[in-house]
Structure 1
Amino acid sequence: MNLGFIGTGSMGSLLIEAFIQSEALKAEQLSASNRTKDKTKKLKEKYPELRIYPSNIEVALESDIVFICVKPLEFKNVIDEIKNVLLPSQVIVSITSPILIKHLEDQLPCKIAKIIPSITNHERSGASLCMYGNKITEEDKQTLESLLESISEPLRISEQFTRVTSDISSCGPAFLAFFIQNFVDAAVEETGIPKEEATRLASEMVLGTGKLLTTGGFTPETLKERVSVPGGITAEGLKMMSNELHGVFNQLIKTTHAKYEEDLNKIESMFYDSSKN
């Protein structure tokens, strides 16, 4: 099986490296193209057997499954470039949340999947959010999910929940890192603790908390209750955050959804207005 990657930015290169390092695939089974040649050059230097092509068409011709890892507004140009060389047996995988499955099924002759990865997949952890088009078979789904199991936990979701599941799974690491960064900075400012020490403590805390919430049998609610003693220091801190952060997370979801809708409207216009011309 050969996998192709069109776009080797942050997520494209992450997936390539994760598949190779997990030994799910060998480098010679992977091909890639990118409009910025320095990015593919660096991957080639690290993985000499990786096949690098100057054009997206060559990647499409050489691959059973093609991951398209470009920005939303670049997507239409890519599929216009490759659609005439694609076969019904091939699978195109979008990793871009506002690109809907219907957009691709309306434009392409092949099978369509949408898979939203997470930066946590780099450490063979976290989820991969899986959505499938009408043409894709159960065998195709199993093939993709078998690959993804080497770097993540594949979860099938409804496309209508793309944004909120991505908020938690894919954006969540950045949101959590923001919290940790501010927690550490405040600790340094208020107490003088060395930043390196506070960062290490916070990082180990997050790692341990993740294990408690996955293999440790805790839920967020039961973990909070276990740590917080009524009238204690933790309880006082939770009370303060509950007051100060009231509504913040609702507003966070509203903000990400508003941006998603903005991008989706631009993409709808790009896909369907251009098809009328």
Structure 2
Amino acid sequence: MNTSNALQDIAGTIVLAGAGKMGGAMLTGWLARGLDPKRVVVIEPHPSAGIGALATRGVRLNPSPDDVGSAATLVVALKPQMFREAGPMLKPFVGPSTLLVSIMAGTTISALQEVCGGSVVRAMPNTPAAIGRGITVAVAASNVSAVQRAVADALLRATGSVEWVDDEGLMDAVTAVSGSGPAYIFLLAEELARAGVEAGLPQELATKLARETVAGAGELLHRSEDSSATLRKNVTSPGGTTAAALEVLMGPDGLWQLMIRAVAAATKRSTELAK
């Protein structure tokens, strides 16, 4: 799909509720890819200077619902804990044919339909969306039309790649793997630097080595057609230094077991947010 053309072809008003880091990244991606700012309404009680500046380009910031009416698309990028309270404020934007796209963790399609109505797409992006390298997983309610699904896909694809699933039950695990996943990678860089200091490196050098190693390895993984396992094996000489480290990381109490427990904890928390 050509995202730029798809965005320009979207009809009607798009209301963005919540313009924090993720909502703001989405908005920036839309405008960079050719969406007319005059078509966008932003509902954000505490807009950043950057979001406020977009008003000079035609984005409507915090207008009265009466001045907007039913939107063609409502994108909800609020913190999930705020949704129930904000729901009555959002409902006037939702008409019988409104597409509602939610990126709130743990908030189910049924909860979105109950509070706001509309044709719901539930999605989970992640923070690399801020640089156009995010991955989003989405699932559509049964009443979402093919045209609405294409609109949701174009809006979500403005910040990276998009995968669609048919089973909403997968979304909690998606949240645990890709939604929360960047934090796991940042922790890896943090702890690799700490281990470098323990091994005798100066703090500044250890931090730079860990940061650039994680970033470079991620970029190699992105560009390569090889699997992560193949890339790992390519670095590992039998009996060498990498092999010695991997014996620890891949041991009985190693990274695999830790990651299983971490993803399980995040999945459990995502299901709790839905209650």
Q: TM-score range by the shorter chain?
A: 0.7 to 0.9
Write the distance in 1 (CA, Å) between the matches of 2:81 and 2:158: 30
Write the distance in 2 (CA, Å) between the matches of 1:54 and 1:84: 12
Write the distance in 1 (CA, Å) between the matches of 2:250 and 2:119: 46
Query: Corresponding residue for 2:229?
Result: 221
Q: What are the ranges of 5 or more consecutive residues in structure 2 without an aligned counterpart?
A: 1-10
Cα distance, 1:115–1:60 mapped onto 2, change above 3 Å? farther
**Maintained 8 Å contact 1:93/1:113:** yes
Query: Corresponding residue for 1:34?
Result: 44
Deviation at 1:84, TM superposition (A): 4.4
Query: Corresponding residue for 1:172?
Result: 181
Cα distance, 1:187–1:90 mapped onto 2, change above 3 Å? same
Deviation at 1:104, TM superposition (A): 2.1
The alignment's C-alpha RMSD in Å is: 2.4
Percent identical residues: 20
Query: Corresponding residue for 1:16?
Result: 27
**Maintained 8 Å contact 1:11/1:69:** yes
Corresponding residue to 2:267 among 257, 262, 265: 257
Write the distance in 2 (CA, Å) between the matches of 1:47 and 1:198: 43
Query: Corresponding residue for 2:15?
Result: 4
Query: Corresponding residue for 1:270?
Result: none
**Maintained 8 Å contact 1:6/1:67:** yes
Write out the 4+ residue segments of structure 1 that deviate beyond 6 Å after TM superposition. Answer: none
Aligned residues: 260
Write the distance in 1 (CA, Å) between the matches of 2:14 and 2:69: 11
Query: Corresponding residue for 1:269?
Result: none
Deviation at 1:58, TM superposition (A): 5.5
Q: What are the ranges of 5 or more consecutive residues in structure 1 without an aligned counterpart?
A: 266-277
Cα distance, 1:35–1:25 mapped onto 2, change above 3 Å? same
Query: Corresponding residue for 1:81?
Result: 89
**TM, length-normalised to structure 2:** 0.84
Corresponding residue to 1:206 among 207, 214, 223: 214
**Maintained 8 Å contact 2:70/2:94:** no
Deviation at 1:188, TM superposition (A): 3.3
> What code does the residue aligned with 1:171 have?
S
The secondary structure found in structure 1 opposite 2:155 is helix
Query: Corresponding residue for 1:96?
Result: 104
Q: How does 1:148-163 map to 2 (within 5 A)?
A: 148-157=156-165, 158-163=167-172
Deviation at 1:107, TM superposition (A): 4.1
Deviating more after overlay: 83-92 vs 231-240: 83-92
